[in-house]
Chain A
Amino acid sequence: MPTASPQPENQTLAELCGRGRPRRVILRLFQEGTVRGLLVGCAMFSILITTLIIGILAYETARFLQEVSVVDFLTGLEWNPLLGADRHFGIWPLIVGTLLVTLVAAVFALPIGLVTAIFLSEYAPPWLRAILKPILEVLAGIPTVVYGFFALIVITPALQGLGRLVTGENTFGAYSAGAAGIAVGIMILPIVTSLSEDAIRAVPKGLRDGAFALGSTKFDTSVKVVVPAALSGIMASYLLAITRAVGETMIVALAAGGLAQMTVLPWEQVQTMTAYMVQIFLGDAPATGVEYKSSFAVAGVLFLMTFLLTFAGYRILLRFREEYE
C-alpha cells in the first residue's frame, strides 16, 4: 500500500482508483508539453552558446582585419604588437610557441599515459588500482594555476640544474617552453590515462582469452592484441588531451615567458596564443587599440584549432564505440 491511512472497506475499486488519479489527462498533457518545451529550450541553449562564440569571434576578427591585412596576419613571421610604429601582426610565432609547448607536453604525457593505462587495466592487482585511480583523479582535479606555480617553483629550477649538469652552461632561463610543457604534460596525463584505460577495458575479454590460449604472455597480449584493438580509442584520448594542452592558459602564462619568437628549442622562452591573450586582457593595451582587437583574432585562430582537434577526436571515438557494441 502506498498510503498509510486505513481504507474503509465499503469503497469500490473504481472509487479507490479515482482517488489515486491526481489530475485530469488534459492537464497532464499540458504539463508534459510545457516541461518538454522547457527542456528543448535548455538543449537549444548549447547551440546558442556555439553560435555566439563563433559570431563574436568572427565579428571581432573581421574588425581587426580591417586594420591589418589577412595576408600579414596569416603568413607573417613576426609578432610584436606592442612595439609602436614598428609592430607586426604575424600569427606564426604564437602558433609555433603553442605547438612547441604542446609537443613537449605530448612527448611527456602520451607514452607515460598509455603505459599507465595498460598497467592499470592489465597488470595492476585490484588493491593497487584502488590506490592509483584516486591519485590520478586528484591530479586531474588540481587547478591549472597550481601547475603553473609548480612549473616555476620546482620544474624550472630542476631543468636549470639538469641543463648545467649536461652542458655546463645556463641553457634554461627563468622562463622556458620546456618547463611549461612538462607542467602541461602532468596536467593532461590523467586525461590520457583515464580515457585510454576506458578504451582498453572496452576490448572484449574474448580477444585476450584467445591470445592467452595461443600461449601469449601478458606482455604479448597487451602489446600485440589489446592495444591495437583499442587503438582508435587511444588516439581519441590523445587528440582530446592535445586539445587541452593547446588551450591551456595559466601554466603557460606563468612559466613559458612573454617573448613571441619562432623557435623549436625547449629551453627558449616562447609566447603561446593563450599567454598573449592573458597579457592583453590583464591590461597591457588600451581597450580601443588594434593590439586589443588582435587578441580576439588570436582567440579565433585558437578556437578553430581546438574545434578541429575535438571534432577529429569525437569522430574517432564514435567509430571506436561502434566497433564492439
Chain B
Amino acid sequence: MNDARPNSNHFQKLIDRGVPRTSAARVRIDRAFSIICLGITLIAVLALALLLASILIEGFPGLSWSFIERYASRIPEQAGIKAPLFGSIWVASICAIVALPVGVATAVYLEEFAAKNRVTNFLRINISNLAGVPSIVYGILGLTLFVRMFGLFGPIQNPAFEIGGETFAIYYDSTGEPLRVPVTSRNETPSLTTGSIGYIQDVLDGPDGELIFTNNWTPIPLTIVNGDTKFTPAYGVISAVDVVEPIDYEIQKPWYYVQFPFGQTVLAGGLTLMLVVLPVVIISSQEALRSVPRSLRAGSMAMGATRLQTVFRVTLPASIPMIMTGAILAMSRAIGEAAPILVLGVALFITDVPQSLMDAFTVLPMQIYNWTSRPQEEFRALAATGIIVLLVVLLAFNAIAVLIRQKFSRPLQ
C-alpha cells in the first residue's frame, strides 16, 4: 500500500484540475445566485406594481358613479361604461352556461369512460392543440359559424328565420316624430291610407328639461296628405310622398326572440367566447377529476354503483372545488378577451343595455381598446378608468367563485 501511494504533488495536480473552486468560493457563488434570483423574481412584482400604479394614477380621478351609469359618447367628459359593462356580464353568462356543462362532460368522458386507445389519444392531443389556438382565430370561427352561419340563412340585415319578433316599418310624421306601422316582414311596404293605425312613442319631460324616451307606444290614426299640401305640424300626419317607402324597419324583440343568422348579437358573442374557453375548461376539469383518489371510485363500484352513479355521486362532488377553480380562470379569460369579439364586428357606439339574446352589444375590453387607441389624453384617462372597472369585475367574479368553492369544499374522508 505504502509503495503505491503517489506523491502529494500528484494529488495537488488532480485537485487543481478537478475542483476548480474552493468550497468557500462555491458557497459565495451560491449566496450571490440566491440574491440575484430574488432580484430577478422581484421584476414580476415590480411589473405588477407599475401596472397597477399607472392605471390608478391615470384612471382613479375619473372614477365615479356617473361613469358607470352613462353610455358611450364622443365627448370624453360625458362618456360612460354602462353598455360594455352589462354587455360583458351578458356575454360571460352565456359563455359560462354553455362552456361549463360541455367542458365538464368532455372531461368526464375522457377521464371516466373513454377506453385508452388511439381515438382517445387523438381527442386529448386535439384539445391541447385547441388550447394553443390564438383567440383571434376563434373570432373568425365565431364570425362564420354564429354571426353569418355560413350565409345559409341570408344576410345579417335580413335574416331568413325569425321567431317571436314584431316588425315595424318606420316613418316620420310632420312633427318629426318616428311613427311605427306594424308589418309582417322586413321587405313589406305597408299600404297606408288615412285612418290606418300607427304607433307613436310616449316621451316624458325630465326634471331638467331633458326628454325621456319611454318604451310605450300609443296608437294614433294616420292622416295622409298630398305631397304638395302645406300642413301644420301634427302627430300622425304624413305626406303622401313619404308613404311610398318606409325610412327603416325596426324589430321589437321580446326576450325569446331568435333570428338565424345570429348577427352581431349577445348570443353570437357568448358562443364565440365559449369556443375560446372550452379547451381551458376541459383541461382543468380533467386535472380535477384525475386528482380524485382511485379508492373512492373503487369503493363506489364495490357497493354496486354503476359508472354513471359513481361519476355523479362520488367523483364529481369530490372534484367540484377544483373544477370551480378552473371555471373561474376560464371565465376571467372570457371577460378579458377583446380579440374574438373585435373580429365579430360589433358596433362601437352602443347606447343601450342588451335586453334579449338578439340585441347588439359591446364588451369592456373592446371599449377599453377603443379608448386607448385614440390619441387624445382624455380618452386614455377614460381607458384607465374602464380598466379599473374591468379589474373590479374580475375581482368580484373571483370572490364569488371562491365563496362557491368554500361552500362545496368538503374533506374527502
Interface residues of A, Cβ cutoff 8 Å to B: 28, 31-32, 35-36, 38-40, 42-43, 45-47, 49-50, 52-53, 56-57, 112, 115-116, 118-120, 123-124, 132, 135-136, 138-139, 141-150, 152-154, 186, 189-190, 193, 215, 217-220, 240, 243-244, 246-250, 253-254, 274, 277-278, 281-283, 296, 299, 302-303, 306-307, 309-311, 313-314
Contacts and interface: CB of A to CB of B under 8 A. Distances in A.
B225 interface: no
B279 A46 contact: yes
B41 A310 contact: no
Given A52-B141, A150-B54, A278-B339, A254 B373 contact: yes
Given A141-B332, A143-B335, A53 B137 contact: yes
Interface stretch (B27-35, B203-211, B228-236, B294-302): B27-35
Given A45-B278, A119-B40, A146-B387, 13 more contacts: A40-B113, A46-B130, A50-B130, A112-B43, A120-B41, A146-B55, A152-B380, A243-B132, A244-B132, A253-B369, A277-B136, A278-B342, A303-B134
A68 B365 CA distance: 35
A46 B365 contact: no
Contacts of B144: 52, 56
A144 B340 CA distance: 12
B54 A154 contact: yes
A274 B339 CA distance: 9
Contacts of A45: 102, 106, 278
A247 B133 CA distance: 8
A299 B130 contact: no
A46 B131 contact: no
B336 A193 contact: no
Interface in B374-408: 380, 383-384, 387, 390-391, 394, 398
A193 B278 contact: no
A322 B411 CA distance: 31
B44 A116 contact: yes
B374 to A, nearest CB: 11
Nearest to B103: A42
B181 interface: no
Contacts of A147: 51
A220 B278 CA distance: 42
Contacts of B40: 112, 115-116, 119
Contacts of B373: 253-254
B369 A250 contact: yes
Contacts of B384: 149, 153
B247 interface: no
Contacts of A307: 129, 132-133
Contacts of B365: 143, 145, 250
B134 A306 contact: yes
B306 A135 contact: no
Given A53-B141, A143-B390, A150-B54, A249 B136 contact: yes
B40 to A, nearest CB: 5
Given A49-B275, A146-B368, A306-B132, A219 B26 contact: yes
B329 A123 contact: no
B131 A132 contact: no
Nearest to A123: B34
B126 interface: yes
B339 to A, nearest CB: 4
Contacts of B339: 144, 249-250, 274, 278
Given A43-B114, A46-B279, A296 B140 contact: yes
Chain A residues touching B, majority SS? helix
A46 B337 contact: no
A249 B134 contact: yes
Given A56-B141, A143-B336, A310-B129, A281 B342 contact: yes
B282 A240 contact: no
B51 A150 contact: yes
Nearest to B26: A217
A93 B198 CA distance: 58
B410 interface: no
B306 A28 contact: yes
Interface string B41-64: 101110110110011001000000
Contacts of A139: 44, 47-48
A303 B308 CA distance: 38
Contacts of A253: 369, 373
B338 A145 contact: yes
A143 B337 contact: yes
29 contacts: A39-B106, A42-B101, A43-B123, A45-B106, A52-B145, A53-B141, A112-B44, A119-B41, A123-B38, A135-B45, A139-B44, A139-B47, A141-B332, A142-B391, A143-B335, A149-B372, A149-B387, A152-B372, A153-B58, A154-B50, A186-B51, A219-B33, A220-B30, A277-B343, A278-B342, A281-B345, A296-B140, A310-B129, A314-B128
Contacts of B108: 39
Contacts of A303: 133-134, 137
A115 B145 contact: no
B110 A43 contact: yes
B145 A314 contact: no
A232 to B, nearest CB: 16
A62 to B, nearest CB: 14
Closest 10 CB pairs of A and B: A247-B134, A143-B336, A310-B132, A119-B37, A39-B109, A42-B105, A249-B339, A217-B30, A219-B30, A145-B365
A243 B135 CA distance: 12
A138 B369 CA distance: 21
A220 B26 contact: yes
B240 interface: no
A50 B380 contact: no
Interface string B265-304: 0000000000100110010000000000000000000000
Given A118-B37, A136-B44, A314-B125, A53 B133 contact: yes
